[in-house]
Structure formats: C-alpha cells, structure tokens
C-alpha cells in the first residue's frame, strides 16, 4: 500500500501543482502540501512508490523546520496529517542552495572526472571521496520546473540577475547557518550531515525558508562511528540517504540519460528502501517512527486540510 498520486478538489482551492514528490494545493492565503510516496532520482520519478516514505519526509522536515525558526522564518504552519503540511505561500526563488561539507555524490563524480571547479568553487587537490572540506562550500543549482536542475555559480547568478547581491548575501548566510544547525543536530544522533540543499522564497519583501530540509531526499548522512577509520582504510562510508537508490539505478543501466529505460524495483528492494527511510527517521530525530494508516487515506487527507483551514 502506498500514496502515489492525489488530485483533490478542496474548498477554496485556487490552483494545483504536482511535483516529483509533492502535490501542492494553493489557496488565497495558504498552501497545503501532500507529501506522496513517490521517489525520484536523476530528475525522474520511479515507477513504484515507497510505502511510508511520504510520512517519513513530512515528519523529518517538520522536525527541522520547527528547530530552525530562530535562524530564518519558514513557511510551515501545521502538519494536520502525517502526509500533509500547511503553510504560507510566497514567491519562490529559482535556486537550490546546495551546501557541501564533504566530497560526495555529484561533487565526487565531478572531482573523479578530473574537474576541480564546481559552480565556480575550486576544490583542493589530493582529496578522496568522503573527505571533509575545510569549510562547507555552496554549489548552487537553478531550480527547473521540468527536467534537470543545472549547476550555476554565484557570479552567473548575479550577472543573470536571478537575485540581487543583497538577497544573495542573505541566502549564503542563512544556508550556512542552517547547515551548521543540521550538523550539530546530526552529531547529537551519531550522524554526519554530508551535504544538503535549501530552497527559499520571498514573502512581504522578506526572505523565507520553504520546502523540506535535512530529509533523506534532500540530504546525505554518514554514520559517524568509524568514519575516520574507514577513510584511513580507503573504505566506503556507511551512509543514510537515497544515494543507494541512485547506485541501484546506475547498476541497472539508468542515469536519466536519453534512450535509457527506467528499471522497476522488485519487492525486495522496495521493502529495503522503506526500511532505510524509517531507519533514518529514527536516527536523525531520535524518535520512533509510527506508521500511519493507509485505510481511507485520501478521505483523511482531504478532511485534515479542510478541517484545519475552517478552524
């Protein structure tokens, strides 16, 4: 059982948008986001949904959004259902602020290819996968409505006037402060926050944090116990993220390139992905995940949104 798609007609609804993972319902003064169980990789949605993934993401995002309000205001007002978040609408900034504390994922693949500059940031020589940067680096990406997000440098962002220099300075400051908080909270749970991404918008002329933060869809974590020894021995780090889904896709001949056929997950791997998401929830929040019911889930989601807004 899973929640793959929604398409409700809610009282007062003015618009609807379906993203890779989230279905967004707009109202005059608010938005309601239904976090489905869809999973994406290489900017493609996989054929099968992951049971309980939406609930995991929603819980973790709320955990960190509520913990970070002292750094910057955010959009979240309430989570009236395990799959639902309701909050402010704002004008989104078409950027992903990607913060990297370690050489991993896309940054490592770029480095391994021989490149040393990523999004205008020069990476030091002599690094190996999973090494820490001396200080976290910001490697932004344009936020595409469809298709692939694209790497972009600070200089290109300013020259293209995507944001002003004043807003850019606020984005930099907030992103690094959020990453510092996420690093501290991860350390308390025996984890290392490797890299992550943040999205922002403008509401009433002020910067606001939007979307999810520090979830396994937007972040990568290492297990801190044994990290140094594994690095010294040249071993792969133990990580908690959806990178293992990307690796499974690559092993099965898919990286999102033209002409490639998306493989379909067998039940055994689907169940493994669910278990990995729940494990990360418990590790990062320090709480035990409670599975919500899929019985009448469409009715319950619609009622939760309608009842919250009417109250």
In a domain, 50, yes or no: no
Instruction: Tell me the residue length of the chain.
Output: 311
Whether residue 311 lies inside any domain: the answer is: no
Per-residue model confidence (pLDDT) at position 200: 98
Contacts of 279-283 spanning 24+ positions with Cβ under 8 A: 279/240, 280/56, 280/60, 280/216, 280/221, 280/240, 280/241, 281/56, 281/59, 281/60, 283/189, 283/190, 283/191, 283/221, 283/240
pLDDT digit string (tens) for 59-99? 999 999 999 999 999 999 999 999 999 999 999 999 999 99
In this prediction, residue 144 carries a pLDDT of 65
36-47 confidence digits (pLDDT tens)? 999 988 888 999
The closest alpha carbon to 237, from 178, 195, 182, 285, belongs to: 195
Q: Is 78 part of a structural domain of the chain?
A: no
What b/e string do you get for 187-198 counting C-beta neighbours within 10 Å, with b at 16 or more?
Answer: eeeebbbbbbbb
Q: Is the pLDDT of residue 50 over 90?
A: yes
183: domain CATH number is 3.30.470.20
What's the mean pLDDT in 104-110? 95
* Residue 10, phi then psi, degrees to nearest 5: -100, 150
pLDDT classification of 279: cutoffs 50, 70, 90? confident
pLDDT confidence of residue 29 = 86
How confident is the model at residue 246, as a pLDDT?
A: 87
pLDDT band (50, 70, 90) for residue 145 = low
* Domain, as residue range, for 98: 92-244
Q: What is the DSSP letter of 74?
A: B
Let me know if residue 274 belongs to a domain: no
190 found inside a domain: yes
pLDDT of residue 276: 87
Q: β-strand 191-203 against 206-210: which pairing, if any?
A: antiparallel
Assess whether pLDDT exceeds 60 at residue 244: yes
Closest by CA to 98, choosing from 29, 175, 202, is 175
pTM of the model: 0.88
**Would you say 123 and 116 are in contact if contact means Cβ atoms under 8 Å apart?**
yes
Instruction: Specify if 31 maps to a domain.
Output: no
285 inside domain: no
Share of the chain above pLDDT 70, in %: 98
Whether the predicted pLDDT of 146 surpasses 60: no
Specify the pLDDT at position 274.
Answer: 93
**How far is Cα 150 from Cα 255, in angstroms, rounded to an integer?**
15
Residue 109 lies in a domain: yes
pLDDT of 147: 52
> CA-CA distance, 224 to 239, in Å (whole number)?
9
State how far the Cα of 184 lies from the Cα of 201, in Å rounded to an integer. 25
Say how far apart CA 47 and CA 138 lie, in whole Å: 32
How many folded domains does the chain comprise?
1
């Amino acid at each position: 059982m899973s929640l793959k798609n929604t398409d409700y007609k809610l009282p007062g609804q003015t618009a609807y948008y379906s993203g890779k993972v989230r279905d967004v319902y707009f109202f005059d003064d608010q938005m309601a986001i239904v976090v489905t169980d869809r999973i994406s990789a290489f900017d493609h949605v996989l054929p099968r949904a992951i049971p309980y993934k939406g609930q995991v993401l929603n819980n973790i995002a709320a955990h960190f959004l509520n913990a970070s309000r002292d750094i910057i205001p955010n959009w979240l007002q309430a989570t009236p259902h395990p799959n639902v978040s309701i909050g402010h609408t704002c004008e989104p900034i078409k950027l992903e602020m990607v913060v990297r504390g370690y050489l991993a994922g896309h940054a490592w693949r770029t480095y391994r290819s021989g490149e040393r500059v990523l999004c205008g940031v020069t990476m030091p020589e002599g690094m190996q996968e999973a090494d820490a940067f001396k200080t976290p680096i910001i490697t932004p990406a344009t936020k595409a409505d469809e298709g692939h997000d694209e790497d972009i440098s600070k200089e290109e962002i300013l020259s293209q006037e995507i944001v002003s220099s004043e807003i850019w300075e606020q984005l930099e400051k907030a992103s690094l402060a959020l990453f510092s908080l996420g690093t501290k909270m991860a350390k308390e749970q025996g984890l290392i926050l490797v890299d992550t991404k943040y999205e922002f918008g403008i509401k009433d002329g002020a910067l606001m944090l939007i979307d999810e933060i520090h979830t396994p869809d937007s972040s990568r974590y290492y297990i801190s116990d044994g990290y140094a020894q594994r690095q010294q021995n040249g071993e792969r780090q133990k990580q908690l993220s959806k990178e293992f889904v990307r690796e499974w896709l690559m092993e099965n001949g898919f990286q999102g390139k033209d002409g490639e056929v998306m493989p379909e997950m067998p039940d055994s791997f689907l169940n493994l992905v669910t278990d990995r998401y729940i494990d990360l929830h418990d590790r990062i929040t320090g709480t035990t995940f409670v599975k919500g019911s899929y019985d009448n889930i469409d009715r319950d989601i619609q009622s939760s949104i309608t009842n919250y807004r009417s109250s």
